[in-house]
């Protein structure tokens, strides 16, 4: 089910990049990190950066590896992910879902709500600036 409220910056979500996107854009469901805060006048929109469990080749200044604890759930099943700082999107809430962790003992769905630590978000923001060709601004983070 899609989110209804703007999530906190640093929240890891799943974004559905369905058939309306075409290669070299993202074209499948992928984990993303929320970059934007809730901005008035922009209801229902959220800016995110994509994550990947595959090591980039070659590693560029807009990539960084994040250690995620606890690890991401299936199908991503990884404690380490790569930020793809060159792959930013502003998407509607209808594309964004919380990470499902399974169900509790009475069958209620469990979701991941935590956010990345401040130092991890600083790394993410640096990758994004590099991906935009604005790496010179990273000294201000």
72-127 pLDDT, tens digit each: 888 888 878 999 999 999 999 999 999 998 899 999 998 888 899 999 999 999 99
Report the number of distinct structural domains present in the chain: 1
Q: For position 19, what pLDDT does the model report?
A: 67
Let me know if residue 125 belongs to a domain.
yes
Specify the pTM. 0.90
DSSP 38: P
Q: For position 1, what pLDDT does the model report?
A: 74
Q: Which residue has the higher pLDDT, 2 or 49?
A: 49
pLDDT digits (tens, 9 = 90+) for 4-48: 999 999 999 999 988 677 777 777 889 999 999 999 999 999 999
Residue pair 100/110 in contact by the 8 Å Cβ criterion: yes
Tell me the pLDDT of the chain averaged across its residues.
Answer: 92
Question: Alpha helix (H) ranges present in the chain?
Answer: 118-131
Q: Is the pLDDT of residue 52 over 80?
A: yes
Let me know if residue 3 belongs to a domain.
no
Distance (Å) of CA 98 to CA 63, 86, 125, 126, 127: 23, 23, 21, 24, 23
Q: Tell whether omega for the bond before 11 is within 30 degrees of 0, i.e. cis.
A: no
CATH of the domain at 122: 2.30.30.110
Let me know if residue 101 belongs to a domain.
yes
Let me know if residue 65 belongs to a domain.
yes
Q: For position 82, what pLDDT does the model report?
A: 97
The domain of 106 spans: 11-130
């Amino acid at each position: 089910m899609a989110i209804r409220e703007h999530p906190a910056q640093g929240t890891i979500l799943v974004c559905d990049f369905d058939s309306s996107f075409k290669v070299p854009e993202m074209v499948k469901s992928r984990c993303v990190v929320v970059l934007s805060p809730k901005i008035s006048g922009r209801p229902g929109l959220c800016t995110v950066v994509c994550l990947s469990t595959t090591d980039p080749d070659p590693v560029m200044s807009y990539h960084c590896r994040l250690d995620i604890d606890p690890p991401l759930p299936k199908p991503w099943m990884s404690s380490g992910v790569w930020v793809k700082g060159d792959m930013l999107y502003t998407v509607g809430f209808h594309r964004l879902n919380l990470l499902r962790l399974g169900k509790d003992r009475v069958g209620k769905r469990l979701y991941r709500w935590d956010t990345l630590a401040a130092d991890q978000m600083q790394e993410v923001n640096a990758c994004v600036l590099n991906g935009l060709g604005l790496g010179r601004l990273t000294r201000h983070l």
